[in-house]
Structure 1
Amino acid sequence: MKIDISDLHYSYPSGVKALQGLSLQVNPGERVAIAGHNGCGKTTLVRHLNGLLRPTQGRVAVGDWDSADHSAAGLAHRVGYVFQNPDEQICKRRVWDEVAFGARNLGYSPTRVEELVSWALSCWQLEPHRDTNPHDLSSGLRRKVAIASVLAMDTPILIFDEPTTGQDSHFFKQLIAVMNLLRQKNKTVIAISHDMDFIAENFDRVIIMGQGRILLDGKPDVVFNESEVLAVTFLQPPQLTRLAKGLSLPVEDCSIEGFLRALSGG
């Protein structure tokens, strides 16, 4: 399901202009990371995709739908959104009910809900907690529950807002495994993140924003070589990119494998 954003402007009631003429297309199945300094418009942008915000000017299309013609509840059939703070979306007293909440609201049959919830719980190894109150869980487990609840909605597009913040290496491994499952299902994944290493290793495309505009848009190895533009946004390239530059190595991708190939001259 394609995303097509054209000349998008958005101003908050306070008068702050958060987005200024932004245009963007995302093809089905792409994995896109959005980065930039705080206040550059990242979250404002993605909240237009599920109807939480409406354009001041311009157009946002999700598939063949103009977002202005559909409610947030309607757009939830196409776009799943995982908030940065899981406590902003958890509303049930039992993990199973929380994970089932979105799928039920989308009108899936009880059998389908059961299948999706079981799958989402298994993705995060949450079965032992299915009868626990989410608010009694650790912050890391609550984040897993929040992501599982969006997975269970089975939307073609998923948005993750800072999914790795404050998480350990075990969470990273599980998140990457989940993202690989979503790739197999040809889901579109969009993530806001400040973690350049996570972005470089797991996304096909990187968008750098500043002052409500897109400053860079391309493959990670191309974007992360634009040191001067990144400096304006107070972002540093991934560690491997910085190391490769220091060693004058021509790294064609930002992964560990790419770095090792360049190091060996392969």
Structure 2
Amino acid sequence: PDHQLFADTVEEEVAFGPRNIGLSAAEVDTRVREALAVVGLGGVRDRDPFLLGKGERQRLAVAALLALRPHVLILDEPTTGLDYLEQRQMMELLRRLHREGRTLVIITHVPWVAAEYAERALLMARGQLLWDGPLRDLCARTDLCTRASFRPPDITRLGLHLGVVPLSVEECVGWVRGKGAISERRSAVNQKRTAS
């Protein structure tokens, strides 16, 4: 976000978009307050954006978008440069926005982010769309993953050797214990592997 931020204060950063589309001062203030509250930055309105931590700056960039009240958010690598806790916080914030009715398109190269948060996966390589569908089914297609240099999470790759496609450690443990929802997918994975 560092190349996107330009205002002297957090408040001014978030207010830029709403002001630019001609909203009244009262409406701009309302939207700034709401957007900062959503991303957990309500207490830093007067701070210089460049004195915020990396995770806070990422959330500030999201707040600037939210102040415009878009129905669709397209985020390119929203977890880049964040530690694991900040990555989780960012993704949970985005999950909350999705549950509130927004459509999210997230571009990521982080396998666990895709595995845990994607409802639908699109895989591209060299400008071509190779896959559009469920991530679990994509991970079973090792030919496509290899072609696009997409490496599924380690637990998924381990599961493939067992004939299942777990997207998380919890799913794999559930399968090992015989209670997992993925156990019935074993035959489907084996069928796909033999068809490849």
Band of TM-score, shorter chain: 0.7 to 0.9
Query: 1:250 maps to which residue?
Result: 164
1:259 maps to which of 150, 172, 178: 172
Shift of 1:123: 2.8
CA contact (8 A) 2:54 2:81 kept: no
The gaps in structure 1 that reach 5 residues or longer are 1-85
Query: 2:110 maps to which residue?
Result: 195
Q: Which amino acid aligns with 2:171?
A: G
Q: Which amino acid aligns with 2:69?
A: D
- Segment drifting more, 135-144 vs 211-220: 135-144
2:21 maps to which of 98, 102, 106: 106
Query: 2:62 maps to which residue?
Result: 147
Q: What is the alpha-carbon distance in structure 2 between the residues aligned to residue 109 and residue 175 of structure 1?
A: 30
The gaps in structure 2 that reach 5 residues or longer are 180-196
1:239 maps to which of 154, 163, 176: 154
Q: What is the alpha-carbon distance in structure 2 between the residues aligned to residue 137 and residue 185 of structure 1?
A: 27
Distance 1:256 1:121, change over 3 A: farther
Query: 1:96 maps to which residue?
Result: 11
TM-score normalised by L of structure 1: 0.62
Shift of 1:186: 1.3
Q: Which has more radius of gyration? A: 2
1:115 maps to which of 13, 27, 30: 30
Q: Which amino acid aligns with 1:120?
A: A
Shift of 1:154: 0.9
Shift of 1:257: 4.0
- The secondary structure found in structure 2 opposite 1:154 is coil
Shift of 1:207: 0.7
Structure having greater relative contact order (Cα 8 Å, sep ≥ 6): 1
Identity rate, percent: 33
Shift of 1:137: 2.5
Aligned pair count reads 179
Superposed CA RMSD:
1.9
TM-score normalised by L of structure 2: 0.82
- Segment drifting more, 168-177 vs 107-116: 107-116
1:8-47 pair list within 5 angstroms = none
Shift of 1:165: 1.0
CA contact (8 A) 2:54 2:82 kept: no
Extract structure 1 runs of 4+ deviating beyond 4 A: none
Shift of 1:179: 1.5
CA contact (8 A) 1:95 1:130 kept: yes
